[in-house]
Amino acid sequence: MAKRQRGATLASLQPSKKPRNDRITHPLISPSCTIYVRNINDKVSKDAAKRSLYILFSTYCDVLQIFYTNAGKLRGQAWLVVSSIEEAELALVRLRGITVFGKNLQMEFSRNTSRLVSQLTEVSV
């Protein structure tokens, strides 16, 4: 009588999570002037969170606008509009892994272009 083998099952051989794509280096996602930030501590007031994001990012880039709310599904997320793509790339590289209010911020380029950027490019053309 053969012994029943224990160990790996079909479920344990498959990866549990898909690897995340890094939006800084991923070739299919183009850099933009809008930076998406998540994992912001939602226990902090809206003004304190916006102020700290402005202080952090203004060291590396010219921040034009910050959209942050701590209500509903958007809680703990922010979008920052900066003046150039080069400055956005620099800020993302320099601030990667930074801890603010006890949480590690996760940053990447935004999927969508900000309305402010669209308006500025229309005016300058």
Interval 66-117: pLDDT, tens: 999 888 888 999 999 999 999 999 999 999 989 999 999 999 998 877 666 6
Task: Specify the pLDDT at position 12.
Answer: 39
3-state SS of the chain? Answer: CCCCCCCCCHHHHCCCCCCCCCCCCCCCCCCCCEEEEECCCCCCCHHHHHHHHHHHHHCCCCEEEEEEECCHHHCCEEEEEECCHHHHHHHHHHHCCCEECCEECEEEECCCCCHHHHHHHHHHC
User: Higher-confidence residue: 120 or 53?
Assistant: 53
Angle between helices 85-95 and 46-58 (to 10 degrees): 110
Mean pLDDT over 47-74 rounds to 93
Task: Specify the pLDDT at position 100.
Answer: 93
Task: Specify the pLDDT at position 69.
Answer: 85
Rounded CA-CA distance 85/30 in Å is 10
Task: Specify the pLDDT at position 27.
Answer: 56
Rounded CA-CA distance 73/89 in Å is 27
- Give me the residues paired with residue 109 across strands: 35
Task: Specify the pLDDT at position 74.
Answer: 87
Task: Specify the pLDDT at position 103.
Answer: 94
* Domains of the chain and any CATH numbers: 29-124 (3.30.70.330)
Q: Convert the pLDDT of each residue in 7-29 to its tens digit.
A: 444 443 444 444 444 545 455 56
Contact 108, 43 (CB under 8 A): no
User: Higher-confidence residue: 26 or 54?
Assistant: 54
